[in-house]
Amino acid sequence: MTAARTGPIRDVRIVDLTQALAGPFCTMLLADLGADVVKIEPPHGDMTRALPPFPADRDGCDYGGYFASINRNKRSVVLDLRQAGDRDILLRLVDGADAVVENARVGVMDRLGVGYERLRERNPRLVYAAIRGFGDPRTGPSPYAEWPAFDIVAQCMGGIVGTTGRAGTSGVPCGASVGDLFPGTLAALGVVSAIHSARGTGVGQFLDVAMYDALVSLCEGIIYNFSYAGKVVGPRGTGHLALCPFDVFEARDGAVAIAAPTENQWKLLCEAMGRPELATDPRYDDNLKRVAAADEVRDLVTQWTARHTKREIVDALGGKVPAGPVNSARDIFADPHPRARGMLVEVEQPGENPPVVLAGPAIKLAATPAAIYRRPPCLGEHTAEVLAEAGINAVPAGAPRRGRGR
């Protein structure tokens, strides 16, 4: 952890009305990049506070790993937006904000009296970002606009489930919650872009990212394949439609990725396998031929990889042919790269809990580095602090708890 905010957007203030994963991941990215993110929570807190895994000292810490991972670098304020007084407090906080981010269903914030049009009246330069399952009518209609959605729904409807898994199946979801994480990432980019525009024009705007839209964007390959060739791409296993070898291969102790689609890479792979003659074999001497004979090529490579450990294979190919082991979390913790790159960051915890390790910022800036500088907040821990900074003397109806963290 660093001692203070060091990122390039230290002059940005975000009012964060998000819960669950997509929204908090968006605002976490902004916070890691230096933004002052004030997380507004209802009296019962973000729904993910109650999700495991939990620390040993639960009396001293009111959240688990799910919440911690995506809510570091934020300050927590408790407001009950069903109460007029707390809505007034929110409006005053918005007066000094660059952006508001929320991921409620269509119309929820409007019914509470704190939707985009109301907030824009208070702060014309405000950027208002929404992450919804199927978008917001302000940016385009959808027959599903009122539908709720979670990660699994976006993955299925956006195309990624239908292209993932063993060939001949109906597909499987990704292990990572990309139906939330990718929309959150796009929303963070949208927020920064819109703030840049607002600072030049003095006028903010509304933006939204639909989870369905984001996954269609992520699955761009299935779109052009259908448009160009009328081809419906289904689950393809671990291979590639247009490159070979470009696959995951069995090893003695697990599996490895090997990608050698160019002629030079194929030559180097054949030499490493002890089969240099395959590089000039007329059945396999260019990528298109190898794609046509993908099953044969896979068998040839597997005959070699199955006799060796992951380490032996990577040692033979590293620096010459793109290759890498299939890593578990234990493997990632043992690999020198994540530590050296600041991707495994020890973060203090409240109470008597020891530090935990969270995934660090992947955006690396040389002069103004993104960083984790503040542990995740206990519920309402910063209510008094944030309200005092804004010159607000009112006591929220949400009755914020005093922060228990040390």
Query: Which residues face 254 on adjacent strands?
Result: 251
What is the amino acid identity at position 365?
L
- pLDDT, one tens digit for every residue, the chain (406 residues): 999 999 999 999 999 999 999 999 999 999 999 999 999 999 999 999 999 999 999 999 999 999 999 999 999 999 999 999 999 999 999 999 999 999 999 999 999 999 999 999 999 999 999 999 999 999 999 999 999 999 999 999 999 999 999 999 999 999 999 999 999 999 999 999 999 999 999 999 999 999 999 999 999 999 999 999 999 999 989 999 999 999 999 999 999 999 999 999 999 999 999 999 999 999 999 999 999 999 999 999 999 999 999 999 999 999 999 999 999 999 999 999 999 999 999 999 999 999 999 999 999 999 999 999 999 999 999 999 999 999 999 899 876 555 444 3
For the chain, the distance separating the N- and C-terminal CA atoms, rounded to the nearest angstrom, is: 16
Report CA-CA distances (Å) from 342 to 337, 372, 373: 9, 10, 13
- Closest to 372 in 3D by CA, of 356, 383, 386, 384: 356
CA 369 – CA 371 distance, rounded (Å)? 6
Coil vs helix vs strand at 140: coil
Please provide the CATH number assigned to the domain covering 13-218+338-389: 3.40.50.10540
For the record, the structure tokens of 169 come out as: 């199946």
Cβ count near 380 (within 10 Å): 25
Q: What is the pTM of this model?
A: 0.95
Q: Indicate the burial class of 339 (C-beta count within 10 angstroms; 0-12, 13-18, 19 or more).
A: middle
Residue pointed to by tokens 């790269």: 337
pLDDT at 236: 87
The predicted pLDDT at position 400 comes to 52
Contact present, 182 and 214 (Cβ < 8 Å): yes
Q: Determine whether domain 246-327 maps to CATH 3.30.1540.10.
A: yes
What pLDDT is attached to residue 243? 97
pLDDT at 406: 39
d(CA 324, CA 31): 31
Q: Could you give the CA distance from residue 248 to residue 237 in angstroms, rounded to a whole number?
A: 9
Ordered DSSP codes for 32-56:
HTT-EEEEEE-TT--GGGGPSP--S
Whose tokens are 């959808």? That residue is: 142
Token pair for residue 168? 């001949």
Other C-beta atoms lying within 10 Å of the C-beta of residue 231: 12
Structure tokens at 18: 């998000």
Active-site annotation holder among 151, 180, 213, 247? 180
- The partner residues of 386 in beta bridges, in order of sequence, read none
Nearest partner of 177 among 132, 217, 211, judged by Cα: 211
Give the Cα separation of 233 and 230 in Å (integer): 9
Angle between helical axes of 22-32 and 178-201 (0-180°, round to 10): 50
> Do residues 258 and 245 make contact, with C-beta atoms less than 8 angstroms apart?
yes
Based on the residue annotation, tell me whether 86 is a catalytic residue of this protein. no
pLDDT of residue 399: 62
3-state secondary structure of 239: coil
Q: Where are the domains of the chain?
A: 13-218+338-389, 246-327
